[in-house]
Amino acid sequence: MLSTSLKFKLAYVGLAIADTWLAGSANPRHHEARVLTKPLLMPTLMTSLITNPKAATSPLRTSTLVAQAGGWGGDLALMGHSSTGFVAGSSSFAVGHAAYMSGFLAHRSKSRRPGPKAVAVLWVTTAPGMIFGAARHDKLLGPTIAGYSAMLAGTVASATQLDPALPKGARRATIAGAGLFMLSDSILGTRKFLLKNAPARVESVVMATYTAAQFLLSEGAARAGTGTG
């Protein structure tokens, strides 16, 4: 018999697949149908984590739930197409990344581990073009993208510093999730601010990487509990 947590995980995967397909459709009605899928993504994933008994002892459980709530707010705000909605969505996601970072840094390795320098180099080489493109689109968006991209890079960098005492599976899932989150938002920013007439299916790539990222971060938190390996 499937556990409650697994049922919600499967429901999340189903919603993610549906929303990913709808997001990349050229049919406006399919985009309208996302009001039935996108708002349910994060609440479903949060419920899967809350009901997972193995996650009850996880040191990353609370911070991840707060981060998922921030992601939910971002998802709702970004359903619109205005610059103010984009700023609101980015701000909500930034709160989520602050929560992820707080959890990762509270349980970081006592000795420095490789990763942050590579993330910093990646941010320095990719963020300026995105920031300039956003500012050219709307002056309000330049500072927003600068701050948000720095927060996202911080999430990835801090994920690489998790305490080796945490289960290896938890650390691997967390790093993979944070990396996919950065990739997803990089694709989103490129499509929105740097490319003209990008194929509709690029949005499907954005959602596929984003939903996978949130799933892996949630799995990382769950596996960090005692005895989850």
At 196-207, the pLDDT tens digits run 788 889 999 999
**Would you say residue 160 lies in a domain?**
yes
Helix or strand run (H / E) with residue 32: helix 28-32
> Rounded mean pLDDT of 28-47?
96
- Pick from 49-63, 189-203, 209-223: least confident: 189-203
What's the start-to-end Cα distance of the chain, in Å?
22
Residue 138 is predicted with a pLDDT of 86
Q: Are 129 and 194 in contact (CB under 8 A)?
A: yes
Number of domains in the chain: 1
Is 228 inside a domain boundary?
no
Residue 228: band (very low, low, confident or very high) from pLDDT cuts 50, 70, 90: very low
Domain that holds residue 200: 4-223
Residue 128 is assigned to a structural domain of this protein: yes
Supply the pLDDT for residue 72. Answer: 98
- Residue position matching structure tokens 């309000």: 140
Q: Which amino acid, residue 96? A: G
Domain presence at residue 229:
no
DSSP 3-state of 97: helix
User: What does the pLDDT average to over 59-66?
Assistant: 98
Segment (H or E) for 21: helix 4-23
136 domain residue, yes or no: yes
pLDDT band at 226 (very low <50, low <70, confident <90, very high): confident
102 domain-assigned = yes
pLDDT digits (tens, 9 = 90+) for 118-135: 999 999 988 888 899 989
Q: How large is the average pLDDT for residues 144-149?
A: 93
Q: How far is CA 27 from CA 22, 32, 33, 60, 82, in A?
A: 9, 9, 10, 40, 20
Question: Rounded to whole angstroms, what are the CA distances from 167 to 3, 125, 180, 219?
Answer: 22, 33, 20, 12
* Domain assignment of residue 167, yes or no: yes
The beta strand positions in 87-182, using DSSP E, are none
Closest among 78, 64, 51 to 178, alpha carbons compared: 64
pLDDT of 81 reads: 79
Residue 70 in any domain: the answer is yes
